[in-house]
């Protein structure tokens, strides 16, 4: 055992959780903690009997106090980071994704690097550090990414609720390289301008890649509503699949403008209509006006980041999907998703069943999906499987 790292003893409940494959220990499951541990400190995790359970990063001000980075002993070092990032890159190669122009290279707990997210967009890298443990190795992360991947530009988007929960200031800006923070990338034959400075999250949502392919296969000849359209990916895949026309709606005027530019970039400008507004009232307006669609796509943002908001999130899914189902023409298709980590598949499906009952329609589930393989799911950490996707067809009379 490495005596140079402080040791933290945990409860039996935490021991069982870690031995079942999870990586987290909550604050109320700590039993013996050295005094004055700084946030981000790397520690050894010890059972009640003194057995080593692994190495973790520690943040006593966070609800998740310990995040395991290894089942053995590891020291916070550049060598450790390089080993882990190489393993993550190899996983993408094994999944047949290594040569893709745009993909997630590092996915936090899914790659045993809790709090580190790295996306590639052509010659750009967009990085997020979301935990105090990874923040303590920030310079080493930058160095390894620069040496292994030689990006034209490495941009940081370390911001948002998770970072605030860790007690960390938000960071945004260029870390290495030069040139514009935008690049045009091709995904499955569709071209998108990705802006890692001003775009959503790290610049573009990569997790729906396989789900967008499903939509493309279903879209031929259809009128389509792309709800929460962001920069237009679902709608543009639908147009690539032969959709007759797409109405894209988002609350962000910048996103709707970017979506229209992406549609034109792919030669679909005539088939794209963009509207700025809150989708809930806009769907009600469309319904009152008698507007109907053959295919409705709903890709809402997370409806809650806290356990206290979970029931409200379930109600939100019920309401938005009721409206989506009500806007379908006879025999129409709803492609709907949830990225709310705290609403599991069972609860989300319950919300979909309630939505169908409220809309007074019977639906068939014709396809299911989730996050693409560059967002690997760690079996012992169910939180790494956050994205839920279903394609529902309204039963004809």
- Cα three-residue angle 240-192-188, rounded to 5 degrees: 50
Tokens of 19: 């031995």
Query: What DSSP line would sit under 148-211, residue for residue?
Result: HH--SEEEEEE-SHHHHHTT---EEEEEEE-S-SEEEEEETTEEEEEETTTSSTTSS--TTHHH
Report the C-alpha gap between 10 and 50 in whole angstroms. 10
- Pair 310, 271: CB distance under 8 Å: no
Cβ neighbours of 63 (radius 10 Å): 13
Known active-site residue 339: yes
Positive or negative CA dihedral for 36, 39, 42, 46?
A: positive
Residue 169 vs residues 157, 160, 161: alpha-carbon distances, Å: 12, 10, 11
Residue 5 three-state SS: coil
Report the C-alpha gap between 96 and 287 in whole angstroms. 43
Rg (CA), the chain: 22
**Of residues 58, 190, 229, 339, which has the active-site annotation?**
339
Q: Which H helix or E strand runs over 117?
A: strand 116-121
- Pair 119, 154: CB distance under 8 Å: no
Report the C-alpha gap between 230 and 233 in whole angstroms. 8
- Pair 46, 9: CB distance under 8 Å: yes
Tokens of 103: 């993909």
Tokens of 173: 């800006």
**Distance linking the first and last C-alpha atoms of the chain:** 68
- Pair 12, 25: CB distance under 8 Å: no
Tokens of 7: 């040791």
Tokens of 157: 């988007």
**DSSP bridge pairs for 9:** 32, 46
By annotation, the residues acting in catalysis are: 339
């Amino acid at each position: 055992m490495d005596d140079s790292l402080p040791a933290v003893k945990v409860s039996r409940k935490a021991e069982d959780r870690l031995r079942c494959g999870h990586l987290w220990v909550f604050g109320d499951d700590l039993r013996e903690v050295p005094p004055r541990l700084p946030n981000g400190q790397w520690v050894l995790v010890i059972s009640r009997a003194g057995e080593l359970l692994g190495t973790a990063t520690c943040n006593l001000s966070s609800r998740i106090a310990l995040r395991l980075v290894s089942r053995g002993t590891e020291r916070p070092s550049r060598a450790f980071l390089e080993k882990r990032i190489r393993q993550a890159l190899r996983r993408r190669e094994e999944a047949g994704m290594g040569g893709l122009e745009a993909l997630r290279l590092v996915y936090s707990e899914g790659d045993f690097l809790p709090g580190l997210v790295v996306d590639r967009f052509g010659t750009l890298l967009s990085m997020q550090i979301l935990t105090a443990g990874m923040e303590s190795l920030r310079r080493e992360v930058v160095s390894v990414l620069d040496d292994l991947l030689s990006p034209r530009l490495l941009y940081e988007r370390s911001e948002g609720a998770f970072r605030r929960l860790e007690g960390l200031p938000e960071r945004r800006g260029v870390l290495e390289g030069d040139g514009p923070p935008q690049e045009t990338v091709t995904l499955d034959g569709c071209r998108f301008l990705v802006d890692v400075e001003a775009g959503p999250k790290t610049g573009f949502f990569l997790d729906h890649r396989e789900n967008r392919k499903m939509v493309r296969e279903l879209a031929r000849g259809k009128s389509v509503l792309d709800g929460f359209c962001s920069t237009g990916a679902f709608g543009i895949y639908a147009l690539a699949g032969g959709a007759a026309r797409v109405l894209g709606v988002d609350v962000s005027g910048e996103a709707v403008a970017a979506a229209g530019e992406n549609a034109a970039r792919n030669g679909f400008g005539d088939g794209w209509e963009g509207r700025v507004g809150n989708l809930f009232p806009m769907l009600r307006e469309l319904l009152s006006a008698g507007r109907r669609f053959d295919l409705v796509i709903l890709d809402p943002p997370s409806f809650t980041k806290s356990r206290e908001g979970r029931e409200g999130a379930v109600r939100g899914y019920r309401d938005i999907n009721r409206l989506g189902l009500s806007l379908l023409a006879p025999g129409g298709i709803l492609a709907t998703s949830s990225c709310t980590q705290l609403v599991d598949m069972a609860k989300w499906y319950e919300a979909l069943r309630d939505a169908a009952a409220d809309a007074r329609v019977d639906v068939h589930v014709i396809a299911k999906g989730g996050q693409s393989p560059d967002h690997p799911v760690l079996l012992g950490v169910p939180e790494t499987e956050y994205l839920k996707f279903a394609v529902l067809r309204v039963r004809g009379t």
